[in-house]
Structure formats: C-alpha cells, structure tokens
C-alpha cells in the first residue's frame, strides 16, 4: 500500500474503516433470523457468489457481474446487517475462487464497496417502508433503495478511479454510466421481483436462476455483437483505404 499516492491511500482506508464501523453499528439493530430467513440468506449468498464467478465483459476495459440481483433481494428481505454480511462475504468468496491476484487492500476495498452499497439499499428500504414491511406493497421504498445502491457503489468506485488516474470524477460520468444503467436496472428489477416472491416462499429463489442466466447471456451476446460490429467497421475502413489511396491513413 506504500506505493499508492497518499490521497488514494487515505481514501481506501476511509472506505475500509466506514465498512468496519457500519457492520457492527447495523448489528445493534438486527432482528432474529427465522428459519425461513436462514434459508433465504443461504440461497442468496450462493446466488451472489455464483454470479460473481462469471463476470460479463461489456468491452475490453469494462465488465459487470450479475450479483446485484441477489444482493438487492437480500437488502429488501434481511435488513442492513445480514444484507451487508451476504454482500461482503460473497464478494470475498468469489475473489478467492476466481483466483484473482490482488493486494489485501484491493480485496478489502471490493468487499467494502459491495457491503456498503448493499447496506445503503437495505437502510433506505427500512427507513421508508419500516420494519417487517411487505416488499410487494412498497414500490417507492424499492425504487429509493435501488437508487441508493447504485449511487453509493458507483460513487465509491468512481472516486477511487479518479484519485488513481488524477481526473475529475464528475466529468464523463454520464458517458460512462449510461451504458451500464440499463443492465443494472434489469438486475435490480429482478432482485425486487425475487424478494417479492421469496417473502412468500423462499424456495422460489431457485427459479430466479433462470432469468439471471438469461440476463447474463443477453448482456454477453450484446457485448459480442458490439465488438463484432466494431471489427467489421474497421475492416471496411481498411478495404476503403486499399481501394482509394486518397483516404489511406485518414479513416
């Protein structure tokens, strides 16, 4: 960590410290897990871990995972403490089994951002809907929780990138996130639907593996088509250069 610039070092430590403080703080307000809640927690952790093991590459430098469906469902169903535990633990497990070679602070930052964004969603839902609310009857609380999750996660990640490359985190924000928002919205909607169904019957979560797989394949196919289109355009430009010497080197 000594190789990092001091503003970046301070920021990463601050995020880690916030996550470490938020977890015991939320534990003070946690409820007792019912047997059905224990089943939900286990199923959601498995879903989130599996989703993180296979990230989808949107471009050469951009990839996403589809674990937000499971972690958002956890935020709506389990409250801040257990949702943060689920999000943080599954991120750590996925990093281990993916064999990703990262420094301790990089792993810690990834775990912290996942836990904090999920905790923010759970807290927002709890404040708006109240304890023991029926998820299906709280559309406004669901929407606010989804916005909180996306904004907290994107803000934490964007700021660390901005500090690393020394750029304005606000500049180009929309250009970057407008590509991700449709995918993230789809994942969060699926998470809300999963929470609504699972609140009545936890085992229905197993069925949501199918739409998660569909979203994963759709995103992957869309990225592949985009890359193929880009390659085709470049090949066409090369052909034009060969046939027209005037345009050579200008396309």
Instruction: Read off the CATH number of the domain in which 185 is found.
Output: 1.10.1760.20
Q: What pLDDT sits at residue 16?
A: 95
Q: Read off the pLDDT of residues 140-155 as tens digits, 9 standing for 90 and up.
A: 999 999 999 999 999 9
Residue-number span of the structural domain to which 198 is assigned: 6-247
* 3-class secondary structure, 53: helix
SS3 label, residue 244: coil
The answer to the question of residue 86 being in a domain is yes
Closest CA to 130 of 121, 119, 141: 141
Under a CB-based contact definition with an 8 Å cutoff, are residues 52 and 88 in contact? no
Residue given tokens 């503003």 in the structure block = 7
CB-side neighbour CA atoms (13 Å) of 161: 15
Q: Flag whether 31 is in a domain.
A: yes
Residue 102, classed as helix, strand or coil, is: coil
Among candidate residues 104, 78, 189, 79, the one with its CA nearest the CA of residue 142? 189
Is position 79 within any domain? yes
> Which ranges of 130-208 does DSSP label H, i.e. alpha helix?
139-165, 173-200
1 is a domain residue = no
Query: Please, which pLDDT band fits residue 22 given cuts at 50, 70 and 90?
Result: very high
Task: Assign 212 a pLDDT band (cuts: 50, 70, 90).
Answer: low
Where is pLDDT greater, at 6 or 136?
136
Dihedral, CA of residue 211, residue 215, residue 217 and residue 221, to nearest 10: 150
Percent of the chain with pLDDT over 70: 77
pLDDT over threshold 80, residue 18: yes
Give the number of domains in the chain.
1
Length of the chain: 251
d(CA 232, CA 143): 40
Distances (CA, A) of 229 to 27, 179, 222, 240: 50, 17, 11, 17
């Amino acid at each position: 960590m000594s190789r990092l610039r001091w503003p970046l070092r301070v920021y990463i430590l601050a995020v880690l410290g916030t996550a470490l403080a938020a977890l015991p703080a939320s534990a003070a307000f946690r409820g007792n897990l019912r047997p059905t809640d224990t089943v939900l927690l286990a199923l959601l952790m498995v879903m989130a871990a599996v989703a993180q093991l296979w990230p989808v590459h949107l471009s050469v430098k951009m990839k996403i995972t589809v674990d937000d469906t499971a972690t958002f469902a956890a935020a709506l169903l389990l409250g801040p403490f257990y949702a943060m535990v689920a999000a943080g633990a599954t991120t750590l497990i996925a990093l281990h089994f993916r064999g990703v070679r990262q420094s301790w602070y990089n792993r810690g930052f990834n775990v912290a951002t996942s836990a904090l964004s999920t905790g923010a969603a759970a807290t927002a839902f709890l404040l708006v809907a109240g304890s023991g609310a029926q998820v299906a009857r709280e559309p406004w609380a669901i929407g606010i929780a989804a916005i909180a999750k996306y904004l907290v996660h994107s803000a934490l990640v964007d700021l660390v990138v901005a500090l690393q490359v020394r750029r304005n985190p606000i500049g180009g924000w929309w250009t970057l996130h407008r590509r991700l928002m449709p995918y993230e919205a789809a994942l969060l909607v699926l998470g809300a639907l999963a929470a609504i169904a699972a609140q009545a019957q936890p085992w229905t979560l197993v069925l949501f593996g199918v739409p998660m797989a569909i979203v994963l394949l759709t995103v992957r196919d869309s990225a592949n088509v985009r890359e193929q289109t880009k390659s085709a355009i470049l090949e066409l430009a090369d052909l034009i250069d060969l046939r027209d010497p005037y345009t050579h080197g200008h396309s």
